[in-house]
Structure 1
Amino acid sequence: MKRKVSLKDIAQKVGVSTALVSYVLNGQEREKRVGEEVAIKIRAAAKELNYQPNQIAKSLKSGKTHTIGLIVADIANPFSANIARIIEDEAKQHKYNVVFGSSDENADKAWDLIKVLLNRQIDGFIIALTEHAEEQVRYLQEHHIPFVLIDRYYPDIEVSYVALDNFKAAYDGVEHLIQKGYKRIGMINYNSGLYHLQERTRAYRQALQDYNINLEADWCIEVNEDRLKEDMDRHMQELLYGEQPVEALFLASNKIAINGLKFINEKKLRVPEDVAIIGFDQTDAYDLFYCPVTHIRQPMAEIGRKAVQALLQLIDGNQARTQLNLEATLVVKSSC
C-alpha cells in the first residue's frame, strides 16, 4: 500500500519547515506573514504530490468534522433532489461536506437517520421534517445540537428555519384563477398535519371567501400519499364529472399535479378549455405537458443557501435564530 503524503514530504520538496507548510495549507499564510511566492510553491507541491489532509486529525484539533447532516423528505421528489444539490454546493463553498439521507416521510426512519449521523459526529443538521417529529426537534434542542429546518417547521416550537410563505404563495395562485374568471375552483392537497400543507389549504379557503365565492364541501379534497394514484383518480373523477364539475383545479404539490395531469391525459380532457390547472413546486412535467402548466415556483436556491448559512452561524456559536418565510413566484403559462 502506497504511503500517504505528509506535510513533511511537501516541506522537503519546497525546502521550508513543516510548520510553514501547515500555515499555508490551513489558510494562515497572511496571519503568519508567509511570502506569496513561497505560498504558491507550497500549494503547487501539495497538488503535485496529491496531498490529502488528515480530516480526523483536523477535527480533533478544531472540534469540528466540517460535515453537515441533511435529511430530506423524499429524495425521489424533484424538490428534495434539487434542494439537496443546492445545499451540497453551498456547503462546499464553506469547505463543508454533506452526508444526506431520505426519511421517505416516515418519522421513525428520520429518527434512525438522526442517530446514525450523530454517530458520524456531524457538526449540525438541516432537516425537512416529517409528521409527528416534534420529539426529534426537542431532542436536538435539549442536547444543544445545531440544526435548521427547511421547507417545514412547527410554528409553536421556536427554532431556526428557512421555508416558504405558503399562505401567500397559495393565495396568489387561487387569486389568479379567480381573476381569470373561474368561480368553481377545486383544490387537492395531502391529508397531512404538516403546517406548510395546512397553510396552502387555509389560503385557498380564504381567497374564495375574500372574493365572495361559496365553497362547496366537495371542492376541497385531501388524498393520502401512500395510495396517491388511486385517490387522485377517484377524486379527479368526482371533481370533473360530478353534477357540478369544477372549472379549475389548484393542485397543492408537484406529485399531486403530475397525477392530475395523467388523469386528464387518460380522459382526453382539454386544458384549459375543460379545466384550468395551477400546480405547486417546479417539475419538468409542467413544461413537457402539451399545455404548459401555470405553477408556483419556490425559491429553492435561496432556501438552500440561507439554510446552510444559518446552520454555519449556529455551528460557530451564534445562537441568534434565523426564521425566514420566503416569497414564491407565480409562473404564468397556458393552463389557465
Structure 2
Amino acid sequence: MKKRISLKDIAQKVGVSTALVSYVLNNRMQGRIREEVVQKIKKVAASLHYQPNQVAKSLKINKTNTIGLIVADISNPYSSGLARIIEDEAYSHGYTVIFGSSDERIEKCELLVDTFINRQVDGLVVLPPENADKLIKSLHTRKIPFVLVDRYFPELPVNSVCINNHEAAKSAVDMLIQQGKKRIGMISYNTTLTHLQDREKGYKAALKGAGIKVDAKLIKKVMLSKEEEEVPLAVAGLLSLSQPVDAILFISNKTVLPGLRYLNAKQIDIGIAGFDKTEIFDFIQMPISYIQQPLHHIGVAALDILLKNISKRQKSTQLFMEAELINKVQFAD
C-alpha cells in the first residue's frame, strides 16, 4: 500500500517546520508568511499529491462537514428532487451529503441512522417511516442535530418542515366539487403517518363543507410500498360500485401513477386530483390537477434549520408551508 504523504514529508522537502506547512495548507496566518514560501509549500504539496487526513482533522475540530439524508425511496421523484436541492444547498455551505433510502422500513431507517452517526455526520435530515417515534425521541434525547421533512409527529417538539397537508387535500377536493363532481373517491393508505392522515381529514372536511356525506365505501386504502399491485384493484373497486365515482383524489404521487395507468388502459375519463406532478401526466389525455409542493423552499428551509441547530443557534422549529393547487381542467379542450 502506498504511503500517505504527511505534513512532515512536505516540510522536509521544503526545508521548513511542520507547523509552518500546516499553517499554509489550512490558510492560517495569512499575510504573516512570505508569499514565496507559501507558494513553494503549495507547489511541493501538489507535486507529492498530498491529501489532508480528513478523519484526523474531524477528530481535532469535532466536525466532519457531512450531513446524512434519509429519504423513503430515492427513486421517487419527490425524494430525488428534495435530495438534489439539499445537496446543492449543503454544498454552498461547505457540506457534503450522504444519502440512504429507508424503503418505508423502520429497521432500515434505524440502521441508516446508526451508520451515519458512526460516520460522525454533523446532522441528519430524515423522512421518517411509520413507527419511527422511538427513534426520533432517541435522537432528540441524545441531542443529535436533525430535522424531519415531509413527515412530523405532533406530540414531539422536534424540528420539522412540512406542507399544510390538510388544506392541500381540502383544496383539491373543493376544486373537484366546484367542477360538479358528486361521488368523489379517495385512494389512501393503511398507515399511522400523520401527514397522510391529515390529507384524509382534508378530503373529509371538503365533503362536509359542501354538504356531501362522507361515504366509507368511497375510501380505498392500500399498503405503503404496494401501490403497483393494490391501487389498480382499489380504482376498479370504486368504478364497480352501483353508483361509481365520478372523481378520485390520489393521496400521493405513488398512488396516482398506477391509478392513471389503469384508467388510461380502460379509457375511463373521470375527475382526477393528486399530489406532485410526474412525467406520466404529459402522456395522459385526461386533464390531471395536482397539488404542487414547494420543494425548493422545503429543502432550503430544512437545511437552514439543521445548520442553525448544528451551530447551537436555534431551538426546535416546526414549519408548515402552503402548497399550490394546479387546476388543469380549465385548460382542457
Secondary structure, aligned partner of 1:225: coil
Whether 2:90 is the aligned partner of 1:95: answer no
CA contact (8 A) 1:282 1:298 kept: no
Whether 2:315 is the aligned partner of 1:324: answer no
User: How far did 1:18 drift?
Assistant: 6.6
CA contact (8 A) 1:248 1:276 kept: yes
Structure 1 residues not aligned, in runs of 5+: none
Specify the code of the residue in structure 2 equivalent to 1:98.
V
Aligned counterparts of 1:12 and 1:69: Cα–Cα separation in 2? 39
Instruction: Go from structure 1 to structure 2 and tell me whether the alpha carbon gap of 1:321 and 1:25 turns closer, same or farther (over 3 Å shift).
Output: farther
- Choose 36-45 or 59-68, whichever is displaced more: 36-45
Whether 2:157 is the aligned partner of 1:162: answer no
Counterparts of 1:52-63 in structure 2, within 5 Å, are 52-63=51-62
Counterparts of 1:107-256 in structure 2, within 5 Å, are 107-256=106-255
Aligned counterparts of 1:115 and 1:212: Cα–Cα separation in 2? 50
CA contact (8 A) 1:13 1:45 kept: no
Aligned counterparts of 2:37 and 2:227: Cα–Cα separation in 1? 59
Whether 2:66 is the aligned partner of 1:67: answer yes
User: How far did 1:228 drift?
Assistant: 2.5
Specify the code of the residue in structure 1 equivalent to 2:151.
R
Among 272, 280, 290, the alignment partner of 2:275 is 280
User: How far did 1:137 drift?
Assistant: 0.8
Aligned counterparts of 2:319 and 2:44: Cα–Cα separation in 1? 42
Secondary structure, aligned partner of 1:53: coil
Secondary structure, aligned partner of 1:100: strand
User: How far did 1:39 drift?
Assistant: 11
Paired residues, number? 330
User: How far did 1:241 drift?
Assistant: 2.9
Aligned counterparts of 1:248 and 1:20: Cα–Cα separation in 2? 72
Q: Could you tell me the TM-score, scaled by structure 2's length?
A: 0.88
Aligned counterparts of 2:223 and 2:69: Cα–Cα separation in 1? 25
CA contact (8 A) 1:24 1:42 kept: no
Instruction: Go from structure 1 to structure 2 and tell me whether the alpha carbon gap of 1:175 and 1:20 turns closer, same or farther (over 3 Å shift).
Output: farther
Q: What do you get for the CA RMSD once the two structures are aligned?
A: 2.9
Specify the code of the residue in structure 2 equivalent to 1:81.
S
Among 291, 308, 311, the alignment partner of 1:313 is 308
Aligned counterparts of 1:44 and 1:291: Cα–Cα separation in 2? 63
Aligned counterparts of 2:326 and 2:15: Cα–Cα separation in 1? 60
- Choose 46-55 or 80-89, whichever is displaced more: 46-55
Instruction: Go from structure 1 to structure 2 and tell me whether the alpha carbon gap of 1:249 and 1:58 turns closer, same or farther (over 3 Å shift).
Output: same
1:12-53 residue CA offsets vs partner (Å, 9 max, x unmatched): 999998767655654556xx5469988995898599645533
CA contact (8 A) 1:124 1:146 kept: yes
Instruction: Go from structure 1 to structure 2 and tell me whether the alpha carbon gap of 1:292 and 1:46 turns closer, same or farther (over 3 Å shift).
Output: farther
- Choose 208-217 or 134-143, whichever is displaced more: 208-217
Specify the code of the residue in structure 1 equivalent to 2:133.
E
User: How far did 1:231 drift?
Assistant: 2.5
1:243-282 residue CA offsets vs partner (Å, 9 max, x unmatched): 111111111111100011111122122xxxx301111123
Instruction: Go from structure 1 to structure 2 and tell me whether the alpha carbon gap of 1:35 and 1:261 turns closer, same or farther (over 3 Å shift).
Output: farther
Secondary structure, aligned partner of 2:216: coil
CA contact (8 A) 2:14 2:41 kept: no
Counterparts of 1:299-310 in structure 2, within 5 Å, are 299-310=294-305
CA contact (8 A) 2:104 2:225 kept: no
CA contact (8 A) 1:10 1:21 kept: yes
Identity of aligned residues (%): 46
